[in-house]
Amino acid sequence: MSTIRKIELKDGRETYEIKASRGRKKAPLTMRWEPPQGWSRRAIERELNRVAADFERRVNSGEVISRAEQKEIDRLAELERQKIYTVERYAAEVFMPVKEPQMSVNSVNNFRGVIKTWINPYIGEMPIDEVSAADIQRIFTVMQEQGKSSATMQKCKVVLNLIFKMAYMQDLIEKNPLDKVIVPKTSKDKKIKAQTVESFNADELKYILSCLKDEPKKWQLYIKILIQTGCRRGEVTALCWRDIDFESGEVVISKSATYDTGKKETIIGSPKSGKSRTVYISDELLQELKAFRVNQAKENCISPYIFTREDGSGGCMHAQTPTRYFQKFGQKYNVNGFHPHKLRHSFASLALVNGVDIVTIAELLGHADPAITLRVYSHSNEIAKQQAASLVRNLLAGNQ
C-alpha cells in the first residue's frame, strides 16, 4: 500500500512524496513527483494516483530497489564475473603458477613468450569456456600467413593444449577445443634449408686466443673454458670454485645461470639436461685460475663464484653479460659471429673430426641422447667418417 504526502517548496511550488511499503522486513521506498505548472487540482489528483499505483507495482515486482540493494547486487555480480576466467587471466593466475616450479627458466620464458605473442592477442580476452576450435585455428592461420615454421606452430599448440587441458581437468570447460585443431604444415614446395652449424676451425680459434692477451683476465679465463670444454654460456657463468678439482683438472657442471625475463633477474638452476657432468681443462688453465682466485681475494671479493658482478658484491655475473662482451670482442678483433654457443659448436666439431666418438662428445656436451649430437653435428660426423675410411684405405694400400 502506498501513501502520498504533499510538500510545499520554498519557492511556492508543490511536490508530492510517494512511499510504497514492502512489508515488515524491508524499508519502504519513496519517490518524488511534481505536477506541471497550470494543471487543475482534478488533473493533478488523477495523474498522482496513476503515478502512485505504477510506482507501487514496480516496487512489488522488484523493478525498483534501494541504492544499498543495487550496490549489493553489483558487488555479487562482480564476484561472479571474477569467477569466469578469461584465457589471459587463467594463464597468468592459474596455469603458469602451477607449471613454473616444474620447468626450467628457459622453458618458463618460452611459455611466457608464446602466451604473450600468440595467445593473448587473439583469444586472451575471451572467457575460457567460450573459446572454440575455430578461434584457436585462426591463430595458426595467422602464423602460417606470416611464414612461421611447423616447429613454431607445434610449440604454440603444446602451450595451448596444456592450458586448456588443465582447465578441462578443473571442470572450467566441458571439452578441450584443441582436440579439433589441426596445425598446418609448411608447404612442401618451399625449399628446405639444410641445417648448418657455424663453428670456428683450429686456426680461427688460435687467432681468438691470441687476441685474449689484451683482454681482462676474467674474460680470458671465461673464453678459454668455453673453448676447452664446449660448455654452454650459462654453465660457465654459474661455475663455482668448488666445482673445480685443481689436482685432476676435472670440472663438475651442475648449475646454469639463466636470465628470467619475468622476474628480471639471474636465476641459478640445473643444466639443460637436468643432470650434472664432468668436463676437463688443461693444467695451464688450472694455474691461471689459481692465480685469478688469489687476485680475487686480494681485491676483497670473496665469492663462491668464479665470474662475479662488476659491483664487487660477489654475486654471480649477470647471465646476459657474456653476450654483450662477445659482441664487442667480435667487433674489436673482426671475428664474425663471435658468440659463446659458436665456441661450443667448435669444440664438438673439432672433436668429431679428430676421432672422438659421438657418445663421448654427447656426454661432454650434456646432451641427453647421442642422437641429438648426431643430428646437430651430422656434417662434422660425415667428415670424420670420410677420414676414417681414408685411413683404412691408406693402411690397406700400405700393407699391399
Q: Is there a domain that residue 116 lies in?
A: yes
User: Is residue 372 included in any domain, yes or no?
Assistant: no
Cell numbers describing residue 15: 511536490
Q: Are residues 332 and 252 in the same domain?
A: yes
- Asked if residue 333 and residue 208 are part of one domain, the reply reads yes
**56 in the same domain as 22:** yes
Q: What is the DSSP letter of 201?
A: -
| 44 & 123 share domain | no
What residue spans of 128-241 are helical by DSSP H?
A: 133-145, 150-169, 202-211, 217-229, 233-237
| Interacting residues of 203 by C-beta distance below 8 A, sequence separation 6+ | none
For residue 376, is it within any domain?
A: no
Whether residue 380 is contained in a domain is answered as no
Together in a domain, 334 and 229: yes
Q: Distance (Å, rounded) from C-alpha 243 to C-alpha 248?
A: 12
| Residue carrying the nine cell digits 615454421 | 149
Contact between 119 and 160 under an 8 Å Cβ cutoff? The reply is yes
* 198 inside domain: no
Q: Which of 292, 310, 338 is where one domain is finished?
A: 338
- Considering the domain architecture, whether residues 224 and 320 belong to the same structural domain is answered as yes
Q: Is 71 among the domain residues?
A: yes
Rounded Cα gap, residues 113 and 108, in angstroms: 9
Question: Does 210 share its domain with 174?
Answer: no
384 in a structural domain: no
Question: Which domain range does residue 233 map to?
Answer: 204-338
Residues 113, 224, single domain; the answer is no
Last residue of a domain, one of 294, 309, 338: 338
* CATH code: domain of residue 93: 1.10.150.130
Judgement on whether residues 209 and 282 belong to the same structural domain of the protein = yes
Are 211 and 331 in a shared domain? yes
Contact 316, 238 (CB under 8 A): yes
Domain count, the chain: 3
- On whether residue 46 sits in a domain, the answer given is yes
Residues 175 and 152 in one domain: yes
Specify the amino acid at residue 101: P
Among 227, 235, 279, smallest CA distance to 104 is for 235
Is residue 221 located within the same domain as residue 251? yes
Per-residue pLDDT of the chain (400 residues; tens, 9 = 90+): 789 999 988 888 899 999 999 888 888 999 999 999 889 999 999 999 999 999 999 998 888 888 888 888 777 777 666 667 899 999 999 999 999 888 888 888 899 999 999 999 999 999 999 999 999 999 999 999 898 988 899 999 999 999 999 999 988 899 999 999 988 876 544 444 445 568 898 899 999 999 999 899 999 999 999 999 999 999 999 999 999 999 999 999 999 998 887 778 888 888 887 889 999 999 999 999 999 999 888 887 788 999 998 887 788 999 889 999 999 999 999 999 999 999 998 888 888 878 788 888 888 888 877 776 766 665 555 555 555 555 555 555 665 4
Q: What CATH number did the domain enclosing 294 receive?
A: 1.10.443.10
Cα-flanking dihedrals φ and ψ of residue 333, to 5°?
Answer: -110, 10
Answer with the one of 77, 104, 131 that is the final residue of a domain. Answer: 77
Output phi, psi for 19, to 5 deg.
Answer: -120, 125
What gap in Å lies between CA 122 and CA 110, rounded to an integer?
A: 18
Asked if residue 227 lies in contact with residue 291, where contact means CB atoms within 8 angstroms, the answer is: no
